[in-house]
Amino acid sequence: MIRFQCPYCGVGCGLYIDDRSKVKGDPNHPANFGDVCKKPLYYPKVLRKGRVKRPLFRESKGSDFREVSWEEAIQIAVERLKSLSPHEVYFYVSGQLFTEDIYVINKLVKGFLGTNNIDANSRLCMATAVTAYKMAFGSDGVPCTYEDVDDADTFLFIGSNAAISHPVLFRRVLKRRREHEGVMVITVDPIETETARKSDIFIQIRAGTDTVLLNSVLYILYKEGWINWDFVKNHTEGFEEALREAEKFPPEVASSVCGVEERYIHLLAEAFAKSKKLISFWCQGLNQSSNGTMKNLALINLHLATGRLNGKGCPFSLTGQPNAMGGREVGYFPNGLPGYRDVRREEDRKFMESFWGCGRINPEPGPTITEAVDLILDGRIKLLWVVATNPAVSLPNLRKVEEALKRVFLVVQDSYLNDTCEFANLILPAAQMGEKIGVMTGSDRTVTLCKPFSDPFGEAKADWEVFCELAKALGFADAFQYSSSEEIFREFVRATEGRLCDLSDMDYDRLPLRWGKRWIYEDLRFPTPSGKARFHPARFELREGFGSFVLITGRLKNQWHTMTRTGKSEELLKGEVPPFVVMNQEDAEELGVQEGDLVRIISKYGSVDRVVRLGNVKRGHLFAPFGYPREFGEPTNLVLSDRTDPLSREPDLKYEKVEVVRL
């Protein structure tokens, strides 16, 4: 039996594959104890479908690709990089890479190429949660673990359809409710999702108004005398300013703005005030918003106001990808460095410059990926290197993205021929999970070793090997003489020693292990200047505009992101195609639309056609899964704008005003 971590959602389930190539849950892994969802069971079947076999190159976008050797491919890349300044190149990487891959890429780009022009597809999912954690607690990092599920009595899912996006964790919550009387599950969402249907209480909110709802809960907590004043006075700062903002939203105001009954706001306040232990789970419904950081902070404010940390609760951000946590530990955002360090802090730069033996690390964060698209269109970025992600489907405002991909010299490093490869100049075949060895970190900080069970397909190489060859060809051989991924891991964990995310006691033979204690702020001392957690006023702004409907996007139940792997499984495609949109029945009747009809969804950015499904989505709202590649129709993100949250720079993928026309 060969053990590895699931390559899909961020729960980080331990799996193993037996000698008949069957995937099963690992009963000894602390993330799942043998439980497993449907998606990874078909992984061996899709491992080799639609793969990139050897390097491919074309000078111009309109010509055919020709096969080239690895030596020629690396030389082509080196010549391009040397012909450009560091600020004219950009790297876009992924939370689906191993930590060792991310570490080598980040080291080369920031330490030796001298640019912070690198971002990850976690920008589309976890950047907001990272920003809010840092603002509230002084550092990234989930404060609790999955163990806390097992003794909590109230669970709040807000902006999270965990039943399909993090199913093993959600089943653990349901098990807790099934086995212990009085456990309550609450879901806040504009759509009656599978999570909402299995909850005790469903609060159907108007999209984008979560900040108002949560501020109103803080208002009630204060008015009812339910604030934990000992905790607030001894362990926090900034409460008064946060309260002044919350006082703008008494229940009667919040009820009107959010489209929910006042009794539900009081119910939430009572849950925070009177539960034995409350865990709030959130995901992209709060993160993917132009008001996203405020939503996150409004929720964390409630935990601080009621002292709901450690044994009394936790604000638990659910990670979107299998190794987004590992990427955050490495620092793969434009401002990050290993060990939760930041390029803007001189002491952090000095440490990494000495540790890596490199030149001066740029103190200015680079642009985010959506900003990089604009820089490409302005002619200021001339080479884009995409690793293990599919921006031609996943980025917002895709017409604009497509134009940028046409103009830039594009390197795509991936296991599969995906939509982004259509715009590529150079395609490099990458080994993937099951063909290489490395580690990933799940949502609760558990680090798992993933061992290979197959040889790499064709001439595919591990991503760290590709970037080591590139570094050597660029003249940085001394710093990239790694003989194995384990050697890279040992170097990386040394860089985390003494940091909050200290992995320095880990080695391959001892994994899986979780870094930090069960509660990383067990002593209620926080890495802020005062040592206290910080309230923030959660300000509300909702963008209105073109269109009668609000379009919300989200995941499919059995598919993963842009379907690059899972879309190759007939079993996982059942019920997921053709591309659909969920509409409220009363809205459909007003438009003369029935289930199964084809409609066109139109925004000022583009349009897509979708088959109608009727469901309990709030009136005036639509829900459309985002992950369809062009193989199945137009990607949903053709109709989404690229506006972002002003603090996290995460795109607003959950709120677009659109019109609907029956075809």
Which residues 6+ apart lie within 8 Å of 389 measured at CB?
Answer: 92, 93, 94, 96, 120, 121, 420
Q: What is the pLDDT of residue 637?
A: 97
Each residue's pLDDT tens digit, 287-300: 999 999 999 999 99
3-state secondary structure of 536: coil
Structure confidence at residue 182 (pLDDT): 96
Would you say residue 545 has pLDDT above 80? no
pLDDT tens digits, one per residue of 148-189: 999 999 999 999 999 999 999 999 999 999 999 999 999 999
Task: Tell me which fold the domain 127-317 belongs to.
Answer: Dimethylsulfoxide Reductase; domain 2 (3.40.228)
pLDDT mean over 345-356: 98
Kindly report the average pLDDT of the chain as a whole number. 97
Domain boundaries, the chain: 2-46, 56-125+325-514, 127-317, 549-662
pLDDT of 540 over the 80 cut: yes
E strands, 400-529, are 409-414, 426-429, 438-441, 446-450, 513-514
Distance CA 370, CA 501 (A): 28
Closest CA to 322 of 121, 497, 461: 121
Q: How many beta carbons lie within 10 A of that of residue 119, not counting itself?
A: 27
3-state secondary structure of 37: coil
Q: Across-strand partners of 600? A: 609, 661
Class of domain 56-125+325-514: alpha beta
First CA to last CA distance, the chain: 53
2-46 has CATH 2.20.25.90 classification: yes
What is the predicted pLDDT for the residue at 542? 80
Confidence of residue 230 (pLDDT cuts 50, 70, 90): very high
State how far the Cα of 103 lies from the Cα of 441, in Å rounded to an integer: 13
- Of the candidates 343, 339, 249, the one whose C-alpha atom is nearest the C-alpha of residue 301 is 249
What does the pLDDT read at residue 546? 80
pLDDT tens-digit map of 426-453:
999 999 999 999 999 999 999 999 999 9
The dihedral built from the CA positions of residue 21, 25, 27 and 28, taken in this order, carries a sign that is positive
The full length of the chain comes to 663
**Contact, 313 vs 278, CB < 8 A?**
yes
How far is Cα 265 from Cα 254, in angstroms, rounded to an integer?
8
Which CATH number among 3.65.10.10, 2.40.40.20, 3.20.20.70, 2.102.10.10 corresponds to the domain 549-662? Answer: 2.40.40.20
Q: What is the pLDDT of residue 544?
A: 73
What's the pLDDT at 387? Answer: 98
What percent of the chain is helix, strand and coil (3-state, nearest 5)? 35, 20, 45
Dump pLDDT digits (tens) for 439-488.
999 999 999 999 999 999 999 999 999 999 999 999 999 999 999 999 99
pLDDT digits (tens, 9 = 90+) for 94-149: 999 999 999 999 999 999 999 999 999 999 999 999 999 999 999 999 999 999 99
Mean pLDDT of 574-589: 96
pLDDT of residue 493: 98
- Give the Cα separation of 230 and 169 in Å (integer): 33
* Identity of the residue numbered 525: R
Nearest residue to 288 (alpha-carbon basis) of 260, 314, 268, 318: 318
The answer to whether the peptide bond before residue 322 is cis (omega within 30 degrees of 0) is no
pLDDT, tens only, 62-106: 899 999 999 999 999 999 999 999 999 999 999 999 999 999 999
- Within 259-344, residue ranges assigned H as helices are 262-274, 284-287, 292-305, 324-330
